């Protein structure tokens, strides 16, 4: 698999060409087996320091919004050139393409991002896979290849230890497990095969036996700033609460194949701007979910730089996400 961007292209979009990380056969096999893999040093040097500075500035300038997290800031890549350079260019999209084993004729688009801050005493979100508020795509059909189901790249900007907490707990193998959909229906609501509105963070209350199972089989990694967990859309995960220490900062980015179908969650701006009804491929959304692999689309990037992509008006009291 070849690195998709050249220096001239990156310069045109105002983003430097980042270092490339090649996943080993062992890492690729771990992702296919477990639905999650740890990759060290995804962000480094000046780019990492700038990301840390940006996250700290957001925390300092924003009032606390939820008991779950100190800060949740969505879709920052739409108006922040630094976040755009991380989410859209260089090492991160290329890592996702490797994990998904994409071929050169296949295309990848960015869906959502979130900058999050987690403080001692915050409860985070219980065991979950993201609902269609934060992952507005139709679910993969039974015949679809698991590799195309979507990927989250969860990058820590703070040092994390399993003993202290504050990181992302995952359940290896849950994305591929035969009981996955039964567990997901508990919290997914009617849009995910269950009933009623989503109860994304309430697994412990709604299905204590499943919660206990996840607690027994969870994995927590020691991570340094710039390290990333790459995990499947359907890998169960949760923020690990902690009692003492500094605020934990992280940046999370969701990616989907261009063929994925948009879900009408009633507030995605792409629906109104493009005259869509839901069910269309992400390709039809253009600059609202721009192409990141194997190469950018010039028109989409120019529209982004011109500020033509507006933010969603987030519904009242959205559930926090890890």
- The model's pLDDT over 89-130, given as tens digits with 9 standing for 90+, comes to 989 999 999 999 999 999 999 999 999 999 999 989 999 999
| 2, pLDDT greater than 90 | no
| 313, pLDDT greater than 80 | no
DSSP 223-261: B-TT-EEEEETT--EEE---SSSSPEEEEEEEEEETTPB
| 312, pLDDT greater than 80 | no
Distance between CA atoms of residues 231 and 237, nearest Å: 9
Question: What was the pLDDT predicted at 143?
Answer: 60
Instruction: Find the mean pLDDT for residues 11-39.
Output: 82
Question: What was the pLDDT predicted at 267?
Answer: 87
| 196, pLDDT greater than 50 | yes
Q: What is the band of 271 on the pLDDT scale with cuts at 50, 70, 90? A: very high
Cβ proximity of 257 and 108 under 8 Å: yes
Q: What is the band of 270 on the pLDDT scale with cuts at 50, 70, 90? A: very high
Instruction: Find the mean pLDDT for residues 127-140.
Output: 92
Cα–Cα distances (Å) from 287 to 13, 220, 315, in that order, read: 14, 35, 22
Question: What was the pLDDT predicted at 78?
Answer: 92
Ordered by start, the domain boundaries in the chain are 7-157+226-305
- Among residues of the chain, what percentage have pLDDT more than 70? 88
Architecture, CATH, for domain 7-157+226-305: Sandwich (2.60)
| 190, pLDDT greater than 90 | no
pTM of the model: 0.91
Q: What is the band of 1 on the pLDDT scale with cuts at 50, 70, 90? A: very low
Question: What was the pLDDT predicted at 3?
Answer: 35
| 6, pLDDT greater than 60 | no
Average pLDDT value over all residues in the chain:
89
Q: Phi and psi (nearest 5°) for 137?
A: -130, 145
| 278, pLDDT greater than 50 | yes
Question: What was the pLDDT predicted at 13?
Answer: 46
Cβ proximity of 95 and 153 under 8 Å: yes
């Amino acid at each position: 698999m070849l690195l998709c961007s050249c220096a001239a292209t990156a310069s045109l979009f105002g983003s430097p060409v980042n270092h490339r990380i090649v996943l080993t056969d062992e890492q690729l096999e771990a992702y296919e087996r477990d639905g999650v893999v740890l990759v060290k040093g995804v962000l480094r040097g000046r780019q990492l320091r700038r990301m840390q500075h940006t996250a700290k500035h957001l925390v300092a300038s924003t009032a606390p919004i939820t008991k779950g997290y100190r800060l949740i800031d969505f879709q920052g890549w739409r108006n922040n050139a630094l976040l755009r350079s991380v989410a859209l260019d260089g090492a991160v999209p290329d890592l996702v393409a490797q994990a998904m084993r994409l071929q050169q004729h296949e295309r990848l688009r960015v869906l959502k991002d979130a900058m999050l801050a987690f403080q001692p005493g915050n409860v985070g979100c219980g065991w979950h896979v993201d609902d269609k508020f934060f992952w507005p795509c139709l679910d993969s059909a039974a015949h679809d290849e698991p590799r195309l189901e979507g990927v989250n790249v969860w990058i820590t900007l703070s040092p994390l230890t399993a003993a202290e907490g504050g990181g992302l707990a995952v359940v290896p193998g849950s994305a591929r497990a035969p009981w996955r959909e039964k567990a997901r229906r508990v919290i997914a609501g009617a849009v995910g095969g269950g009933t009623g509105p989503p109860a994304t963070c309430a697994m412990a209350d709604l299905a204590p036996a499943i919660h206990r199972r996840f607690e027994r089989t969870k994995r927590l990694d020691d991570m340094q700033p710039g390290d990333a967990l790459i995990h499947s859309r359907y890998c169960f995960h949760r923020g690990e609460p902690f009692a003492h220490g500094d605020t934990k900062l992280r940046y999370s980015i969701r990616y989907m194949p261009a063929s994925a179908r948009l879900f009408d969650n009633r507030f995605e701006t792409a629906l109104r701007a493009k005259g869509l009804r839901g069910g269309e491929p992400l390709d039809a959304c253009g600059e609202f979910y721009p192409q990141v692999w194997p190469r950018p689309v010039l028109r989409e990037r120019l529209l982004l730089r011109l500020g033509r992509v507006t933010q969603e008006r987030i519904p009242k009291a959205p559930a926090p996400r890890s």
